Structure 1
Amino acid sequence: MDKNKNIFILFSFFFVSLLLFQNANVYTSALSESKVYIVYMGARQHDDVDRITSTHHDMLTSVLGSREGAVGSMIYSYRHGFSGFAAMMTKSQAQTITNLPGVVKVMPNSVYKLQTTRTWDYLGLPFNSANNLLNDTNMGDDIIVAVLDSGVTPENEAYNDKGVGPIPSKWKGYCQSGELFDPKKNCNRKLIGARYFIDGYLAYKGQPGSTIGIRDYISPRDSNGHGTHTSSTAAGSPVSNVSYKGLSLGTLRGGAPRARLAIYKIGWEDGIFTDADILKAFDTAIHDGVDVISASFGADVPLYSELYPQAGAISFGSFHAVAQGITVVAAGGNAGPAAQTVSNGEPWIITVAANTPDRAFPTPITLGNGQTLMGQSLFTGKDTGVVNLVAARGSCETLSTMDTYITGNVVLCFTGSRGSDLEVLRFVIRARAVVRGVGGLGIIVSQKPFTLLDAYADSFPSAQVDYEIGTKILSYIASIRYPKVRLSPSKTQIGKPISSVIAKYSSRGPYTIAPAILKPDIAAPGTNILAAYVPENPNIRISTYKIISGTSMATPHVAGIVALLKAANPNWSPAAIKSAIVTTAWTSDPSSGQPIFNEGETISKLADAFDHGGGIINPNKARSPGLIYDMSTTDYLQCLCAMGYDSRVISGLAGQATSCNNGLSIFDVNFPSITMPNLNGTVTLTRTVTNVGPVNSVYKVMVEPPKGITVSVTPSTLNFNPSVKKISFSVKISTSYLFNTGYYFGSLTWNDGVNNVRIPISVKTMY
């Protein structure tokens, strides 16, 4: 295997496992083979954790035939946030255990994949301002953020504990020792917890209990970089003069710089997470006393299948966390811009989309005729000088090591117009490796509009341009006998005229499992984000920083802001925090005030609720939203009833027999949104708002109805006083269409002269 091919494989593996949020591959085997099954038993019936584990052993013994076999086959006992266990069983044994008393559901051990300096200023949280959510909450001090990811690089300055107070007394967790991880050296008042869970992954790999051949640290230490990046984004300490090889220079910090971090490593060498490890991390985090959970992983569509009916590990684990008052923030996925691709859409989760911040990395391309065109890149090497320019004899995909005409030249190539963003990314990685390997001096890639620059992050002269600029360069090449070009290093540009767009890769709604639940909930910066990373040389422990992209990067932005909101409003429920975030979001660009566009095949469509939920997160407004749409655990259970979940699952989640209200419509669940995928005639629904602003407040309604849809609200004025803190109102929605094939979008806003409490409306008419 030649060197270029090796480079291509390494880079492809790196970006596929690290950046893009991939399909969940179900771990299947023959009937007689043992594999991991998860036995979910719902809410705990008592607090004696040893007795709970003994009960799990008893149940497994009844199926396997011996106590010794039961103990030996068990992977995990879940006993803190909920009850259940993961164990090696055959399919027939799993079927037998399904029918035992107390068992809510038995699931195979499915797998999931992974999904700054400027962004906090962009979101209105400048570091030195005295009047914003960041400083009014002492930067999130005493809030504990749990990050479920690929681990941590503890030596990075983003985890220093300068100025951080004592570890909160509510913390019950600890730091776990392991390979190249010493709790006494690597944990402190900032990084207060670090655990790892690998048994589910080892079973998935077919080697339960054995770490032989695992190319990862068997410890909380991160070998991937993804977990280091996300955790430092959520709650990293301030580090001055940080850049990526000179680009994006500034002070790096997390959203809640004084919040504490608890790391739960569940992502391993190939970026894979398993249900068994995910559930154990949720169970442990609930026990440890965390306030926020950030989860940058998930499954792609289809979300409903024979092996994944309606709910899995993330569903159950996140429900029990939210029931304990812990807000769960999760990535919506990187399968956009196609509709119906959003994941992690449980109603109690804050599901995050990704937008671009007001920052770009222009890369000058100066042609021999004196014309300078701008590409984009993270090219940090030396100027090429004036060199020869050639056009590829084919597409970027067809470049090969046999193309010796590239040697000594910069080459222009075009990617095909078809193919997913993942495929385009692979083509770019490969094309750059080929050009570099045959002695080319640089590459200009003309491709579909795409803001991801991760594949261009090194010193090799490279630039990304769209088809229009690519065509101009091609015309120049064709017009002259000896075309020349000069590629200059990338620069950093912030603010106007750069405007935010919802990233092309960001997964879109509607949510396929429950189209009447708006997902995603909110957008946050996820493109070209600078944060802490693993060092290039693992033997040299130096602070390293890298720019990468994905809804994985957007998720910890929201988690950090949730930590600040939790510090500002400690009594708010997870639903109240979610409502505050959704109803106060920016619906125009935070910097320029221009409309938010949707990055797709072309940037020509205004973003809608299925692209960004309520909009782009607005931290300072979310602190004092005026009104909130609150929900309790009971509301979520009734929501599941309306979604058609099995009554045994619902009762298991509740920890007691729960009957469904057959008359409940999912449209009446108190979401901070209204989504109607099948309007036929007229529907009247109800919402309830709670006043969290001045006691004597008067709100008037403002409606922007979707095109062709009539929306009326009763009452149209809400009068709050010391004895009236909650008011319900009805919304009557009717359509003038016989049917329509798509959604139309509008909004309902309550205004008191200070606050605009806005919820999005999405309506599709059916026969």
Structure 2
Amino acid sequence: MSLGSSVRLYLLCLLCVLNDQGISITVAAAKTNSQVHIVYLGERQHGNAKLIMDSHHDLLATIVGSKSLASKLMVYSYRHGFSGFAAKLTETQAQKCAELPDVVRVIPNTLHKSVQTSRSWDFLGLSPHSPSSNIIHSSNMGDGVIIGVLDTGVWPESKSFNEEGLGPVPSHWKGVCKSGEKFNARLHCNRKIIGARWFNEGILAEYGQPLNTSKRTEFMSPRDAHGHGTHTASTAAGSFVTNVSYKGLGHGTIRGGAPNARLAIYKVCWNVLGGVCSAADILKAFDEAIHDGVDVLSLSIGGSIPLFSDVDDRDGIATGSFHAVARGITVVCAAANDGPLAQTVQNTSPWIITVAASTMDRAFPTSITLGNNETFLGQAIFTGQEIGFTSLIYPESEGLDPTATGVCESLSLDKTMVYGKVVLCFTSLGRRIDVITASDAVKQAGGVGLVIVSRAYLLRSGI
């Protein structure tokens, strides 16, 4: 069998699910004993932000006993787009807050998990080379529009964020670009990235550990240590970058959907536990973004599965986006990749534009040749050095179910049997996480390749 040495050689009908608002968004289970609670007071009653903040401290003081203690326990005051605050409360204190007449609801802080093409926009019919009637031309490619991105931050040196050809910053922008660790506002903000800040009080109160350690890099600034935020920001509004490829594959010009739009970065997700975002931080970013003057908000962050209801009262994204949309700001969220069942769709609030994951009209066909010279065509991305023919093995069980150990989702491998060989496994789901799990198992066992066969494909093909 002629294959390369990479264990991540995914062949035969491997489903690749892409989402132009981000790839693979999942959520950690909500904490029922959350230390931080969000006290939601609904629409703000007037425009004086200082008086609103003072009223939040006064309300909290009635619960905890003093204004000095209230100041210590206050995490955020939401005073621009809506009224409310996040504070460190016991369950008893949270219940007392919920019973006050001015309180709409008290929401336990939840931890969301945010993790993860030069063809996506052309595939959607939004090519700059299309006729002038195309929406991308009529909108002047997003010129004058400010897109706020709530995610893991941004890597400002990326060529996708160059300001070439852009005019002055839109006059309705009232936000700021803040310096921090490895992020200099004077150097890293320009006419493309016009705003950048970060929010981490909520995650710090919940996580209780440093976000930056010797084993895990993080920056106390808008700089992206994870990569997901840079991906989503460039997908939404990245500038034109020519002569781009992935290791020589998929060569072309990349750009965002609105390459002339400006970006306001709100870092709310942090590089811990695979990428975690606190609801308290997300709501603060909503609150500030509404004040800053963004036109569109993009969130590749979702709710928990299973969902509690169509519009969950405990969902900070639904609450924050409601107030944004009420002020004329379009909010776009990812539907997530927990499908394919309909009930797994996330961010279903009717005021949110929810973007589903999709495939694309591009393939990377790769052939595999067996020792009997029979060849099969699959798909893979591999640019390494070929190693020639090697053995192909299928990890068959000796129990009642002979296929039990050959399931990609739960490979059980004998290192002596697998070392130096290519492993064949079957999957019914084709989920990205199952592919990663299988490839990691083969790599740890010393295998040199992995062939994944989709049972659904075999049924459709009559094999």
What TM-score do you get using the length of structure 1 for normalisation?
0.53
CA shift digits 1:325-363 (9 cap, x unpaired): 001111112221123121211111111211111111111
Q: Distance in 2 between matches of 1:319 and 1:603?
A: 46
Tell me if structure 2 keeps the 8 A contact 1:415–1:424.
no
Aligned partner (choices 246, 249, 263) of residue 247 of structure 1: 249
Task: Tell me the amino acid that sits aligned with residue 433 of structure 1.
Answer: K
What is the RMSD of the two structures over their aligned residues, measured on CA atoms? 2.5
Tell me if structure 1 keeps the 8 A contact 2:240–2:254.
yes
Tell me if structure 1 keeps the 8 A contact 2:313–2:319.
no
SS at the partner of 2:270?
A: coil
Task: Tell me the amino acid that sits aligned with residue 119 of structure 2.
Answer: R
Q: Does 1:342 align with 2:345?
A: yes
Q: Which residue number in structure 2 is paired with residue 412 of structure 1?
A: 423
Q: Distance in 1 between matches of 2:433 and 2:211?
A: 32
Aligned partner (choices 264, 274, 280) of residue 276 of structure 1: 280
SS at the partner of 1:287?
A: helix
Q: Distance in 1 between matches of 2:139 and 2:440?
A: 47
Question: Which aligned pairs between 1:310-459 and structure 2 lie closer than 5 A?
Answer: 310-393=313-396, 394-395=405-406, 396=408, 397-400=410-413, 402-409=414-421, 411-415=422-426, 417=428, 421=431, 424-435=434-445, 438=446, 440-449=447-456
Using the TM superposition, give the Cα deviation of residue 389 of structure 1 relative to its aligned residue in structure 2, in angstroms.
3.4
CA shift digits 1:185-242 (9 cap, x unpaired): 11100011111100111111135xx656474111111111111111100000000011
Q: Which residue number in structure 1 is paired with residue 74 of structure 2?
A: 74
Using the TM superposition, give the Cα deviation of residue 178 of structure 1 relative to its aligned residue in structure 2, in angstroms.
1.0
Instruction: Evaluate the alpha carbon distance shift between residue 348 and residue 215 of structure 1 in structure 2; reply closer, same or farther with a 3 A threshold.
Output: same
Instruction: Evaluate the alpha carbon distance shift between residue 347 and residue 408 of structure 1 in structure 2; reply closer, same or farther with a 3 A threshold.
Output: closer
SS at the partner of 1:249?
A: strand
Task: Tell me the amino acid that sits aligned with residue 286 of structure 1.
Answer: I
Using the TM superposition, give the Cα deviation of residue 248 of structure 1 relative to its aligned residue in structure 2, in angstroms.
1.1
Using the TM superposition, give the Cα deviation of residue 280 of structure 1 relative to its aligned residue in structure 2, in angstroms.
0.4
Q: Does 1:55 align with 2:22?
A: no
Q: Which residue number in structure 2 is paired with residue 120 of structure 1?
A: 121
Aligned partner (choices 164, 173, 181) of residue 171 of structure 1: 173
Task: Tell me the amino acid that sits aligned with residue 50 of structure 2.
Answer: D
Task: Tell me the amino acid that sits aligned with residue 449 of structure 2.
Answer: G
Tell me if structure 1 keeps the 8 A contact 2:392–2:424.
no
Aligned partner (choices 294, 297, 308) of residue 293 of structure 1: 297
Instruction: Evaluate the alpha carbon distance shift between residue 443 and residue 152 of structure 1 in structure 2; reply closer, same or farther with a 3 A threshold.
Output: same
Instruction: Evaluate the alpha carbon distance shift between residue 231 and residue 212 of structure 1 in structure 2; reply closer, same or farther with a 3 A threshold.
Output: closer
Instruction: Evaluate the alpha carbon distance shift between residue 146 and residue 238 of structure 1 in structure 2; reply closer, same or farther with a 3 A threshold.
Output: same
Task: Tell me the amino acid that sits aligned with residue 430 of structure 1.
Answer: D
CA shift digits 1:629-651 (9 cap, x unpaired): xxxxxxxxxxxxxxxxxxxxxxx
Tell me if structure 2 keeps the 8 A contact 1:300–1:342.
no
> Relative contact order (alpha carbons < 8 A, sep ≥ 6): 1 or 2 greater?
2
Tell me if structure 2 keeps the 8 A contact 1:360–1:376.
yes
What TM-score do you get using the length of structure 2 for normalisation?
0.86
Using the TM superposition, give the Cα deviation of residue 65 of structure 1 relative to its aligned residue in structure 2, in angstroms.
1.0
Using the TM superposition, give the Cα deviation of residue 603 of structure 1 relative to its aligned residue in structure 2, in angstroms.
9.7
Using the TM superposition, give the Cα deviation of residue 399 of structure 1 relative to its aligned residue in structure 2, in angstroms.
4.1
Q: Distance in 2 between matches of 1:195 and 1:23?
A: 23
Q: Which residue number in structure 1 is paired with residue 32 of structure 2?
A: 28
Q: Does 1:185 align with 2:170?
A: no
Task: Tell me the amino acid that sits aligned with residue 87 of structure 1.
Answer: A
Identity %: 50
Q: Distance in 2 between matches of 1:448 and 1:199?
A: 46
CA shift digits 1:588-642 (9 cap, x unpaired): xxxxxxxxxxxxxx699xxxxxxxxxxxxxxxxxxxxxxxxxxxxxxxxxxxxxx
Q: Distance in 1 between matches of 2:137 and 2:229?
A: 26
Q: Distance in 1 between matches of 2:425 and 2:420?
A: 19
Task: Tell me the amino acid that sits aligned with residue 300 of structure 2.
Answer: S
Task: Tell me the amino acid that sits aligned with residue 237 of structure 1.
Answer: S
Instruction: Evaluate the alpha carbon distance shift between residue 340 and residue 87 of structure 1 in structure 2; reply closer, same or farther with a 3 A threshold.
Output: same
Using the TM superposition, give the Cα deviation of residue 422 of structure 1 relative to its aligned residue in structure 2, in angstroms.
6.1
Count of matched residue pairs: 426
Q: Which residue number in structure 1 is paired with residue 107 of structure 2?
A: 107
Task: Tell me the amino acid that sits aligned with residue 104 of structure 1.
Answer: V
Task: Tell me the amino acid that sits aligned with residue 40 of structure 1.
Answer: Y
Q: Which residue number in structure 2 is paired with residue 754 of structure 1?
A: none
CA shift digits 1:707-735 (9 cap, x unpaired): xxxxxxxxxxxxxxxxxxxxxxxxxxxxx
Q: Distance in 1 between matches of 2:289 and 2:122?
A: 31
Q: Which residue number in structure 1 is paired with residue 240 of structure 2?
A: 238
Task: Tell me the amino acid that sits aligned with residue 405 of structure 1.
Answer: M
Task: Tell me the amino acid that sits aligned with residue 442 of structure 1.
Answer: G
Tell me if structure 1 keeps the 8 A contact 2:394–2:425.
no
Tell me if structure 1 keeps the 8 A contact 2:169–2:191.
yes
Instruction: Evaluate the alpha carbon distance shift between residue 86 and residue 191 of structure 1 in structure 2; reply closer, same or farther with a 3 A threshold.
Output: same
Tell me if structure 1 keeps the 8 A contact 2:307–2:344.
no
Tell me if structure 1 keeps the 8 A contact 2:107–2:314.
no
SS at the partner of 1:354?
A: coil
Instruction: Evaluate the alpha carbon distance shift between residue 276 and residue 175 of structure 1 in structure 2; reply closer, same or farther with a 3 A threshold.
Output: same
Instruction: Evaluate the alpha carbon distance shift between residue 58 and residue 257 of structure 1 in structure 2; reply closer, same or farther with a 3 A threshold.
Output: same
Using the TM superposition, give the Cα deviation of residue 448 of structure 1 relative to its aligned residue in structure 2, in angstroms.
4.2
Tell me if structure 1 keeps the 8 A contact 2:30–2:304.
no
CA shift digits 1:256-292 (9 cap, x unpaired): 0010011111111131111101100110110010001
Q: Which residue number in structure 2 is paired with residue 158 of structure 1?
A: 160
Instruction: Evaluate the alpha carbon distance shift between residue 339 and residue 386 of structure 1 in structure 2; reply closer, same or farther with a 3 A threshold.
Output: same
CA shift digits 1:132-166 (9 cap, x unpaired): 22233221111001111111110000000000111
Question: Which aligned pairs between 1:386-535 and structure 2 lie closer than 5 A?
Answer: 386-393=389-396, 394-395=405-406, 396=408, 397-400=410-413, 402-409=414-421, 411-415=422-426, 417=428, 421=431, 424-435=434-445, 438=446, 440-449=447-456, 467=458
Q: Distance in 2 between matches of 1:108 and 1:247?
A: 46
Q: Distance in 2 between matches of 1:175 and 1:332?
A: 30
Tell me if structure 1 keeps the 8 A contact 2:108–2:314.
no
Could you tell me which runs of 5 or more consecutive residues in structure 2 were left unpaired when the two chains were aligned: 1-6, 9-21, 397-404
Instruction: Evaluate the alpha carbon distance shift between residue 433 and residue 441 of structure 1 in structure 2; reply closer, same or farther with a 3 A threshold.
Output: closer
Tell me if structure 2 keeps the 8 A contact 1:300–1:335.
no
SS at the partner of 1:360?
A: coil
Using the TM superposition, give the Cα deviation of residue 45 of structure 1 relative to its aligned residue in structure 2, in angstroms.
0.7
Q: Distance in 2 between matches of 1:20 and 1:404?
A: 34
Q: Which residue number in structure 2 is paired with residue 262 of structure 1?
A: 264
Using the TM superposition, give the Cα deviation of residue 365 of structure 1 relative to its aligned residue in structure 2, in angstroms.
0.9
Task: Tell me the amino acid that sits aligned with residue 413 of structure 1.
Answer: L
Using the TM superposition, give the Cα deviation of residue 426 of structure 1 relative to its aligned residue in structure 2, in angstroms.
4.5
Q: Distance in 2 between matches of 1:416 and 1:359?
A: 22
